[in-house]
């Protein structure tokens, strides 16, 4: 793993889970980890319930825009974390792939998104401990 690990979070719409995960990793690791997120079929906007849930945690993702998953984004990442995008994520040798089974926040209110947000934070903290343990010391 290079000095500055790179992580790509992928979900179908890049509007909920992957946006929250990217925001948590950026918030918790700062510029010591390169963070990307994308979707196999990006939505027009980030899920408003996800925006509100993250705002409650002190993180503003309201300006984020869902992005399309590209082969280059995967190639440039050390770790690719998928969240329900199935087989649409390209696989390259030497990359680490994780699949996080998380409920999809699409169509849910903020009360239903909070537990998803909290589970993502826990998984991001565990990921940081693995890829950049000096950040958790």
Give me the active site residues, please. 11, 85, 89
If we measure between CA atoms, which residue out of 103, 125, 115, 117 comes closest to residue 50?
117
Q: What is the DSSP letter of 133?
A: G
Q: Which class for 117: exposed (0-12), middle (13-18), buried (19 or more C-beta within 10 A)?
A: buried
Q: Which residues pair with 9 in a beta bridge?
A: 37, 81
Q: Report the largest interatomic distance among the alpha carbons of the chain, rounded to a whole angstrom.
A: 40
Euclidean distance between CA atoms 13 and 19, whole angstroms? 10
């Amino acid at each position: 793993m290079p000095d500055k690990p790179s992580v790509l979070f992928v979900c179908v719409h890049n509007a909920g889970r992957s946006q929250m995960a990217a925001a948590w990793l950026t918030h918790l690791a700062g510029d010591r980890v390169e963070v990307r997120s994308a979707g196999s079929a990006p939505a027009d906007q980030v899920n408003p319930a996800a925006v509100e849930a993250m705002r409650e945690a002190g993180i503003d993702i309201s300006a984020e825009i869902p992005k399309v998953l590209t082969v280059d984004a995967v190639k440039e990442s050390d770790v690719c974390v998928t969240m329900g995008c199935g087989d649409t994520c390209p696989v390259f040798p030497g990359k680490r792939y994780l699949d996080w089974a998380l409920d999809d926040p699409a169509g849910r209110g903020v009360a239903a998104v909070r537990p998803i947000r909290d589970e993502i934070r826990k998984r991001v903290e565990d990921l940081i401990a693995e890829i950049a343990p000096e950040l958790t010391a």
